[in-house]
């Protein structure tokens, strides 16, 4: 969840300071791809009136709902598996026309990865996404590349 320092942190939509004068929400860390339009709305505080005026509002709410459902599914899987044995993707792409979009919030226990019938498809689309320069990391850690390599390494063992 975002950290907001009132009277310091700015709303990404209007660039005004967040404080108690205007209601705001805090969003979870939805995506680490700086090239995705939703990186602006990920892990931040946003004035509710700015969000109400934004054309991205309904999609943001949808992604937050998917994020929360993913957390619920993760909790369910943790009852059966060690959390370290679960692969879970966050929001990989907010663009519905991207083939990678269908893997948003995908969860799978590592032991089931070899049975995943979309394994080759995911590898192909993730590699293409990276090679086409559609991913830029926040701090040098490439989340997509990490999961791509994780998935490849598990299936090769």
**Domain presence at residue 129:** yes
**Domain presence at residue 22:** no
**Domain presence at residue 43:** no
**How crowded is the C-beta side of 12, counted as CA atoms within 13 Å?**
18
**Domain presence at residue 9:** no
More confidently predicted of 24 and 147: 24
The answer to whether residues 90 and 32 touch, using CB atoms and an 8 Å cutoff, is: yes
Domain range holding 137? 55-155
**Domain presence at residue 50:** no
pLDDT value for 40: 93
Which distant-in-sequence residues (6+ apart) come within 8 Å of 83 by Cβ?
A: 74
More confidently predicted of 27 and 148: 27
Instruction: Give the whole-number percent of the chain exceeding pLDDT 70.
Output: 98
**Domain presence at residue 20:** no
The answer to whether residues 111 and 85 touch, using CB atoms and an 8 Å cutoff, is: yes
Q: Mean per-residue pLDDT for 81-104?
A: 93
């Amino acid at each position: 969840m975002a950290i907001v320092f009132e009277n310091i942190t700015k709303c990404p939509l209007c660039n005004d300071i967040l404080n108690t004068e205007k209601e705001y929400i805090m969003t979870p860390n939805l995506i680490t791809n700086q090239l995705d339009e939703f990186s602006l709305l990920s892990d931040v505080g946003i004035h509710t009136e700015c969000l109400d005026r934004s054309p991205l509002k309904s999609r943001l709410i949808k992604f937050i709902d998917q994020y929360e459902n993913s957390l619920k599914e993760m909790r369910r899987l943790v009852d059966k598996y060690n959390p370290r044995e679960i692969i879970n993707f966050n929001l990989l792409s907010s663009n519905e026309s991207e083939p990678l979009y269908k893997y948003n919030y995908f969860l799978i226990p590592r032991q089931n990865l070899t049975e995943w019938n979309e394994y080759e498809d995911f590898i192909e689309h993730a590699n293409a996404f990276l090679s086409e320069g559609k991913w830029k990391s926040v701090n040098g850690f490439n989340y997509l590349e990490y999961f791509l390599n994780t998935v490849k390494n598990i299936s090769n063992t």
